[in-house]
Structure formats: structure tokens, C-alpha cells
Structure 1
């Protein structure tokens, strides 16, 4: 999301997670099989473009945060812990 900071990304991630939770609850109340429902876990990362930062590092950080979210119970977002080296 260009021009979005970490706070913006966190708010959007929570909106998506809640929208999915509401859809799952509606499906369950209509008699759908609970085994066929989905949940959302997200890794949230942000970086200011500068020398020494690259897209691969950003994606790797978000992926690491996603796995932490899954390990900590799913249905949640986790913030990436980025280390940026400026040359």
C-alpha cells in the first residue's frame, strides 16, 4: 500500500480480519459447516524507501510476522520487526 504507514496498514488489516469474522459468523448461523470457514492471520510490515532497503526484505519481514501470528493463535495481525541498514 504505497503512502501507508504502519498504523494505516494495521487499521486496514484489522478491518479485513473483522470483515472475515463477521462473514464466518453469518455463514455459521445459516447452517454452513464450520469446517468450511476461513480465518485471517496477517503479517504487517512497513518501510520507508531508502538506500539499503529492498522489497525482498520487506516481504520477508511480513512473512515472519505472519508466522508469528499463526503461532500466537491465528485470527490476528502481527507487526513486523524491521531492521533497516542505511548506507
Structure 2
């Protein structure tokens, strides 16, 4: 899956990092909320299109990903933990809504969802 994420990374400043286990973070500097959600959907589809057999799930025959997106306009060093928590909250919501989807949490109140 990491290869699918890296192969869909379009700009040199974008960063894909494995946080551990099945969790990845993709940093997209200077990307607004709509752009981040669109990119997340591209990553989700890239994994789905790999058609990796999922032996432990009779409902979904292939491995899919749920994506939690969070965006903020601020100094990243000052707001990193809040940004990560918001992404985690969005990921939980995506899983709760049925998996294989993108959910977003926006930390910038002046930026529309």
C-alpha cells in the first residue's frame, strides 16, 4: 500500500510516512481542504484498484482503506498534535460509516468544508 501512496504523490514537498501498523500519514503542504479530500480519494482508489485479496473479510474481497483527512492553515509546529487528532477522528468516522471512504475534519473555521 505504501507504494500506491508514494506513486500517487505528485509534488516534491508531499510526504508519505508510515506511523505504524496499518496507519500512514500523508502531508500535503499548501493544500486546501477540497484539494486534500480530492487527493485522499485518489489514494483510496489507488489501493482499491490494486485488488489485493482480503482473506479475513467475507464482505469485502479486496483490501481497501479508510482515510481521515484534516486540514489547517497555521504554523504546523504549533498545531501538529491537534492536526493528527483531527485526522484520527476523521478516520474513526470513516470506519464507522462503513470503511473504504474518505472523511474530513477541518481545523480552520474560516475555511469551508
Q: Same fold (TM over 0.5)?
A: yes
Once the two structures are overlaid, the 10-residue window that deviates more, 56-65 or 41-50, is 41-50
Structure 1: give runs of 5+ residues left out of the alignment: 28-32
1:19 positional shift = 1.2
Answer 1 or 2: higher relative contact order, Cα 8 Å, separation at least 6: 1
Aligned residues: 75
* 1:81 positional shift: 4.5
* The one of 69, 75, 78 aligned to 2:94: 69
Question: Counterparts of 1:55 and 1:34 in 2: how far apart (Å)?
Answer: 33
Residues 1-21 of structure 1, C-alpha deviations (whole Å, 9 max, x = no match): 110111111111111111111
More strand by share: 2
Please identify which structure carries the higher helix content.
1
Unmatched segments (≥5 aa) in structure 2: 1-27, 57-61
Q: Give the corresponding residue for 1:10.
A: 37
Displacement of 1:83 in angstroms is 6.5
Name the CA distance, whole Å, in 2 between partners of 1:16 and 1:83: 23
The 2-side partners of 1:83 and 1:57 are apart by: 11
What do residues 39-79 of structure 1 show as CA deviations (whole Å, max 9, x unaligned)? Answer: 110111100105xx611101100100000000000000101
Is contact 2:73-2:108 (8 Å) kept?
A: no
State the TM-score, normalizing by the size of structure 1: 0.75
Contact 2:72 2:106 in 1 (8 A): no
Cα RMSD after superposing both structures: 2.0
